[in-house]
Structure 1
Amino acid sequence: FQPINNWIDEFTRSFFIRTRTDHRNVIERFSRQVISLFDPAKLRQIIEETLKTTLLVEDIFFVLYDDSVGEYVLRQDRFSQSRKIIKREDLLLRGINQLDSPTFFHSLSDFKKDSELADELERRGVKLILPMKDSEHLLGFLALSAKAAGYNYSTEDINLLGVLSNQMVTALTNARLYVDSLERIRLQEEVSMARQIQLDLLPTAPPKYDCMNISAHSTPSRTVGGDFYDFIKKDDGRLGICIADASGKGMPAALMIAQTQAILKSEVHNGNPIDVILRNMNQQLVNSSSSEKYVTLFYGEFDIQTGWFEFANAGHNYPIIVRQDCSVEFLKTGGPIVGALPMMNYTSEKVKLQKDDVMFFFTDGLSEAMNDREEEYTEERIQAFVSEHKSKEPGDIIDLILKDVRKHDPTYPPRDDTTIISLKINNGFELHER
């Protein structure tokens, strides 16, 4: 009866396999399932179920490029939480990158020496490698173990896997583009929120006094940086003037400037002297943020009755005073940036402002604007420009220098936030506002 038993076994095996490897039905069903599927996890589930039910593959290992780590990552299956990072310089991975079709693992012996990936796949009993490549890149590959019941991979199986591989590449690419589009939308929403926070912190208009004219301007960059400026009216009649630049971009920078402005206003309204204001502000920022987050800041108080201006500079670009006689002074006195190092002390200084003196405050978005030859606009050029145009009104000086900067660097919106305050002393000092 042995011949009969063998015939029955062969008939059963061939019938069993054929009903599960109807290639046309498999391809059509797989195509329908993945054509509009954008969830990478769901896509991996369908791939796994298709291969296990149609080809009787016992184990499937996914190796896909992960943008979050910049490397290829090996996962056992869709249920596995563990993952192993595969370095791009791994010899076997480089060999798989050269493949264009399903390939038996044993035929890749030239690429297995000193390969951690090869050792890992050997340990897991991998028999077949299914590369997934678009026109330019290796998106990843599937590592398939032996088939159930000891069946071997047939020529028909290999052909089917080749067709499915092309569909997998299309589906994976679409899923990645979909995820990228969602991330772009999220980032755009974050940028929009950060920009709104930034705009809400800026004064609606500069204060007006008979003794001086003030103008201000802030152009946000494409990514939203951390520039801000403010005018704080004190109970004793003095006017606080602040210009600052927080490190970072986007929402972290926006939150940093919001926190900095809140601390500044609290310290000013508490009546603290300027050196104490900066010392307390620095310590509060150190206690509430990491050392990578800091602020360059200039703060000064203008006494509109006497013309004295007291200030402290915490690592910010030096504001400029162009005197009536065209001499130039830089407001340097102060201390280090705020928020980076604990227990810092600051020093304030006073300068007397006279009729027709011009003060010019700015952030590094102005001085570091770069042309195609990678040449910065520079602080020296700012000084020369303000000196040349000191006879003009503050708003005109700002408009003219912005036009000059855009000739130097036509990028718009600018690469970095650009914030300017310009102030000019009039005929005398009055006790009241206009």
Structure 2
Amino acid sequence: MPVNPADLRDMLRADAFGLVLGLLLILTGLATLVFGSVLRRRAVSLLWLGAFSLLYGSRLLERAGILRLSFDVPTAVWERIDAAMTYTVPIPIVLFARAIFPAWRRFWTSGAIGLAGFAVYGVIADATLDHAHSAGTVNNGIAIAFFVGVIGWVYRPGLTPSRELQALRIGALSVSVAAVADNLRGMKVLAFPGPDLEPIGFTVLIASLATVATWRVVADAHQLVVINRELDIARQIQSSILPQAMPQMRGLTVVSRYRPLTAVAGDFYDFVEIDTERLGILVADVAGHGVPAALLASMVKVALAAQRDHADSPAAVLAGMNQTLCGRLAGQYVTAAYLFIDIRSRMIRYGAAGHPPMLRSTRGNGEVDEVEQNGLMLGFVQNHGYTELQEVLRRDDRFLLYTDGLIEACNADDEFFGIERLKASLTAATARHAEDATDDLLTSVHRWSGRPAGDDLTLVLVDWNDRETT
């Protein structure tokens, strides 16, 4: 059907407000969706707000006569599209409210399910009756009841005054008055000239909700900065409680590697240097990760420091630490392994508390043995006694103490690296210097796993070279 220029100008003039507002809402919706996607979980509310803005702006555009004229689509199809959007458009704004008011999650979830059910009903009814907006009267009634409920909810007594509440009230009042007026006009209860008021009201609502959502995102970002700053301080503190240098004893080479899963960790290691020829080595693992585990790890250091008078006895050290930690770990526990090396007597003592076995190899032939002398985990049972084993310090001995993050590293099939692979890696590094051998072990684990670590990881490798003492 041909349209003369005068009719086209009149149509453009009549549609100008809807076109401009629709385009603005679509652009706003797209920008909000992109921004919310970048922020991910911290901005679910922005995703729903963007979806609503995009859907509502699209409905304004498709209602414009000049846009419909630009496409060779029957009017009945446009009306079906318009009806489907009308039934659907409230759903994302209700889901936005669900995300931004978690205390009322169940209420808003029920509302979203109800609206989704009605939208399905409306679309099916239109298709069955071959008539767009066949559920229009019901939709008008639902819309009026919904917006009256919104006004009652945001203006109910007992709410704590805040700038967020003030912004929500402005948006809710604007859209509710406009939407109720338009729906009453649609039901022919009211009659007044001029365009629909609802788009104006919804624009004010979107601006209000976007303001609230932005405030919350900014507040979350600020809180994240504060948390990161505190974590950085915690990282510095934890770093300060770890050994700042390796023990320097004639004939011994000691190497350590410490890889926390997060900024701070529950893994811990320390040395007790009794004199120039006697050394105690502790490797411990607090259950859990992050700040709570790191706080408990600092308690482990205090507990170890209190055992210096009997640092030559792993059994006494572990028993004393257990007494100190029992009742102070808030339901958590600690595994630990303690190795004592006496260079003068050419002797070692070893004991552990629920910890993976120490590995002992001879650099001459590469044979690797598991050394296990375990008791209960620390902090688990008061007055628990521990045992220790004593053996001769052999020529070219190599000892490996580690936390379970090393052997429980998983590959894509969720298979543990395991102690047998660790022993094979230690054998392969027989001829390597302690520093290089330690790095080789970590490389073997990372290559086999092929994915980021799932636990804190600590290891201490000790090489004995009796040639340096003769």
TM-score interval, smaller chain: 0.5 to 0.7
Name the structure 2 match of 1:421. Answer: 460
Residue in structure 2 matching 1:299, options 308, 317, 338: 338
Is 2:217 the counterpart of 1:177?
A: yes
Residue in structure 1 matching 2:354, options 308, 315, 319: 315
Matches within 5 A, 1:23-422: 64-65=97-98, 72-74=102-104, 86=106, 90-96=109-115, 107=142, 153-155=180-182, 158-234=198-274, 237-269=277-309, 273-291=313-331, 293-323=332-362, 324-409=364-449, 414-422=453-461
Residues in 1 aligned to 2:341 and 2:154: alpha-carbon distance in whole angstroms: 79
Give 3-state SS (helix, strand or coil) of 1:350's partner: strand
Residues 185 and 98 (structure 1), Cα distance of their counterparts in 2 relative to 1, 3 Å cut: farther
Residues in 1 aligned to 2:432 and 2:315: alpha-carbon distance in whole angstroms: 33
CA contact (8 A) 2:337 2:351 kept: yes
Q: Give a deviation string over 1:8-40, Cα, whole Å, max 9, x none.
A: xxxxxxxxxxxxxxxxxxxxxxxxxxxxxxxxx
1:418 is displaced (CA, Å) by 2.4
CA contact (8 A) 1:126 1:144 kept: no
1:309 is displaced (CA, Å) by 1.4
Name the structure 1 match of 2:34. Answer: none
1:430 is displaced (CA, Å) by 4.7
Residues in 2 aligned to 1:65 and 1:232: alpha-carbon distance in whole angstroms: 56
CA contact (8 A) 2:326 2:380 kept: yes
Residues 283 and 65 (structure 1), Cα distance of their counterparts in 2 relative to 1, 3 Å cut: farther
Residues in 2 aligned to 1:315 and 1:193: alpha-carbon distance in whole angstroms: 31
Q: CA RMSD in A?
A: 4.3
CA contact (8 A) 1:305 1:429 kept: no
Q: Which amino acid aligns with 2:110?
A: L
1:396 is displaced (CA, Å) by 1.8
Residues in 2 aligned to 1:269 and 1:236: alpha-carbon distance in whole angstroms: 16
Residues in 1 aligned to 2:424 and 2:154: alpha-carbon distance in whole angstroms: 73
Residues 379 and 390 (structure 1), Cα distance of their counterparts in 2 relative to 1, 3 Å cut: same
Residues 242 and 95 (structure 1), Cα distance of their counterparts in 2 relative to 1, 3 Å cut: same
1:160 is displaced (CA, Å) by 4.4
Residues in 2 aligned to 1:99 and 1:167: alpha-carbon distance in whole angstroms: 27
CA contact (8 A) 1:305 1:430 kept: no
Residues 159 and 417 (structure 1), Cα distance of their counterparts in 2 relative to 1, 3 Å cut: same
Residues in 2 aligned to 1:264 and 1:153: alpha-carbon distance in whole angstroms: 72
Residues in 1 aligned to 2:220 and 2:154: alpha-carbon distance in whole angstroms: 33
Residues in 2 aligned to 1:99 and 1:72: alpha-carbon distance in whole angstroms: 24
CA contact (8 A) 2:262 2:289 kept: no
Name the structure 1 match of 2:9. Answer: none
**Relative contact order higher in (CA < 8 Å, ≥ 6 apart):** 1
1:384 is displaced (CA, Å) by 0.8
Residues 173 and 402 (structure 1), Cα distance of their counterparts in 2 relative to 1, 3 Å cut: same
CA contact (8 A) 1:238 1:301 kept: yes
Residues in 2 aligned to 1:279 and 1:391: alpha-carbon distance in whole angstroms: 37
Residues in 2 aligned to 1:97 and 1:226: alpha-carbon distance in whole angstroms: 47
1:144 is displaced (CA, Å) by 7.3
Residues in 2 aligned to 1:127 and 1:202: alpha-carbon distance in whole angstroms: 54
How many residues align? The count is 334
Stretch deviating more after TM superposition (267-276 or 239-248): 267-276
Q: Which amino acid aligns with 2:345?
A: T
Name the structure 1 match of 2:124. Answer: none
Give 3-state SS (helix, strand or coil) of 1:346's partner: coil
Residues in 2 aligned to 1:406 and 1:93: alpha-carbon distance in whole angstroms: 46
Q: Which amino acid aligns with 1:347?
A: T
Residues in 1 aligned to 2:392 and 2:409: alpha-carbon distance in whole angstroms: 32
Q: Which amino acid aligns with 2:224?
A: R
Residues 185 and 298 (structure 1), Cα distance of their counterparts in 2 relative to 1, 3 Å cut: same
Q: Which amino acid aligns with 1:86?
A: R
CA contact (8 A) 1:95 1:108 kept: no
Bigger fraction of residues in strand: 1
Where does structure 1 lack aligned partners over 5 or more consecutive residues? 1-62, 75-84, 113-117, 129-140, 146-151
Q: Give a deviation string over 1:191-214, Cα, whole Å, max 9, x none.
A: 312221222122222212223322
Residues in 2 aligned to 1:208 and 1:105: alpha-carbon distance in whole angstroms: 83
1:244 is displaced (CA, Å) by 1.3
Residues in 1 aligned to 2:229 and 2:326: alpha-carbon distance in whole angstroms: 29
Where does structure 2 lack aligned partners over 5 or more consecutive residues? 1-95, 120-137, 156-167, 174-178, 183-195
1:298 is displaced (CA, Å) by 0.9
Q: Give a deviation string over 1:369-424, Cα, whole Å, max 9, x none.
A: 33344343222111111122223221121122222233234556x44332221112
1:259 is displaced (CA, Å) by 1.2
Residues 97 and 144 (structure 1), Cα distance of their counterparts in 2 relative to 1, 3 Å cut: farther
Residues 407 and 348 (structure 1), Cα distance of their counterparts in 2 relative to 1, 3 Å cut: same
Residues in 1 aligned to 2:224 and 2:202: alpha-carbon distance in whole angstroms: 33
